[in-house]
Structure 1
């Protein structure tokens, strides 16, 4: 068993749940930051592996979030052990927190951090915090909910936030830590980086590229159509990651699939501040690729 170099734990997830996981040759591990295309890549994997848009179970059942504490580890292990097909498993843990096996595939989806942050802001209002606390064994939130600033006012503070990137993975330092680790591994034969904007620009081409890398059949047009944002939003009841009732509105999970919304919310000075801060947190070639 290969031991990860780092451990990641929060109130809701624990990367240690990967330590004893019995991998199979050909497994696909989907490693992303929150709101960076996780569910989209899970759907792409489901379509490529199963070869049909009519999934036999909700997407989150087919592709569980292994390190989430809302479900017992044994339950998740047993469900994956019972799957006869190639498995595709979700994690928000960076690759340095997951065992890396040479016969397992790892795919990391990258999204412009400002766009990811805007989606994260809206997603926060759609989460049932009491239900999440119940599932993860945490104290229920008390008192009235805090009033949030408008997203236009919140985003610059997210850019400027000084935090430990290994403790606050959805911060700007945490996002760029996750992607920098994957970027350093991009030449490894079983690690693949996918840009969110490439999925927007040429979904069919990206699906065919991944199918070729993973030795899977090339997707028919109806499979590519099933992976479009609009079609996924129509099927939110089956595709949103919510079998245990943590979302207030499943359709709102698929709020918007576009790009550029974060940059449009910042004025010139705030955009310059973001670019300067990002330059201290990630290598320039990664940022050129990420921001293109």
Structure 2
């Protein structure tokens, strides 16, 4: 008998919302850590499934975040049940927290942990905590906001934090936990791993690879417009349609697509900090996974 999925919980998410979800043949589950290319992967799936750059609805409607607590579970289920196209659903839950179904393709997008951390830092400043608390039924924060460290200081503390990875999924141990679980499943026929830097370096090639893995046939004349619609610059122009903020949690939607590149942390940290990072991750996950994550850096 298969092992029951682990339950991941945070103030804003609960993976138990996946339990009992009625999968369909062909469903796609997009499983990523925060700021690792989630919206990019959702957009690519939308383009491949619908085969048009003109989406019929906002991306969050087409591809809801199932375990986010800001929207009632039954409403999300009902919206997905009404969809007639092939479904592609977002989650930040590792694969060991999502029911495994052979009819489903599980797409995991990974990014260099330090690049993810820099994006996470900036995203944290863009979240309206009062609005988020209101939507999740928690008490709003009161009193003056604590001092926010600068990026290098915050990165050093992020590298050094020693926490339970299943309790703090956006910590360094949590990021590695998510990737290690996916890496162990990478040879399963319905698990696809994609690296953020590969999307940056060869978007067209990665989209064709994903179409092949999903069994989607795209007519040759249609490819250029689909690839162009998935570029970072084009997605930033269409932020109102694509940013995952249907209920006003972000202070500035345009700031969501901030930079899109890689290497920011290595520009901010010194040699000693980078050495400390390498020492922290060494031995915590398989060496071949680290080589893949770091892409020879």
Same fold (TM over 0.5): yes
2:231 matched to 1:228?
A: yes
For residues 102-136 of structure 1, the C-alpha deviation after alignment (integer angstroms, 9 at most, x for no partner) is: 11000000000000000000000100111111111
Q: Partners of 2:146 and 2:246 in 1: how far apart?
A: 27
Q: 1:53 to 1:40 in 2, by over 3 A?
A: same
Distance in 1 (alpha carbons) for counterparts of 2:150 and 2:143? 21
Deviation string, structure 1 residues 183-242 (Cα, Å, up to 9, x no partner): 000000000100000000000000000001111123610000000000000000000001
Distance 2:69 2:227 in 1: 32
CA contact (8 A) 1:3 1:99 kept: no
TM-score between the two structures when normalised by the length of structure 2: 0.97
- Taking the aligned partners of 1:107 and 1:270, their CA distance within structure 2 comes to 32
CA contact (8 A) 1:3 1:19 kept: no
Residue equivalent to 1:199: 199
1:257 to 241, 256, 260: 260
Query: What residue in structure 2 maps to residue 97 of structure 1?
Result: 97
Structure 1 gaps, min length 5 = none
Residues 7 and 97, structure 1, Cα contact 8 Å, conserved in 2: yes
| Cα shift at 1:4 | 3.6
Q: In angstroms, what is the RMSD of aligned CA positions? A: 1.1
CA distance in 2, matches of 1:209, 1:235: 25
Question: Is the contact between residue 17 and residue 67 of structure 1 (CA under 8 Å) also seen in structure 2?
Answer: yes
User: In structure 2, the residue corresponding to 1:107 is in which secondary structure?
Assistant: strand
| Superposition deviation, residue 280 in structure 1 | 3.3
Question: Which residue in 1 is equivalent to 2:285?
Answer: 282
1:2 Cα deviation from its structure 2 partner: 6.1
Aligned length: 292
Is the CA contact 1:2–1:99 (under 8 Å) kept in the aligned structure 2? no
Distance 2:56 2:2 in 1: 32
Q: Which residue of 1 aligns with 2:249?
A: 246
Q: Match for residue 142 of structure 2? A: 142
Tell me the distance in 1 between the aligned counterparts of 2:51 and 2:2.
Answer: 32
Q: Distance in 2 between matches of 1:5 and 1:217?
A: 33
Whole-angstrom CA distance in 1 between matches of 2:210 and 2:3: 27
Give SS of 2:187's match: coil
- Give every structure 1 segment of 4 or more consecutive aligned residues whose post-TM-superposition deviation is greater than 2 Å: 1-5
Please state if 1:12 is matched with 2:12: yes
User: What is the aligned partner in structure 2 of residue 163 from structure 1?
Assistant: 163
CA contact (8 A) 1:29 1:91 kept: yes
Q: Is the 8 A contact 1:2 1:101 kept in 2?
A: no
> Given that residues 44 and 207 in structure 1 are in contact (C-alpha distance below 8 angstroms), is that contact kept between their aligned partners in structure 2?
yes
Instruction: Give the whole-Å Cα distance in 2 for the aligned partners of 1:139 and 1:11.
Output: 11
Equivalent residue number for residue 274 of structure 2: 271
The answer as to whether partners of 1:185 and 1:191 remain within 8 angstroms in 2 is yes
In structure 2, stretches of 5+ residues that fail to align are none
Whether the aligned pair in 2 keeps the contact of 1:123 and 1:253 (CA below 8 Å) is: yes
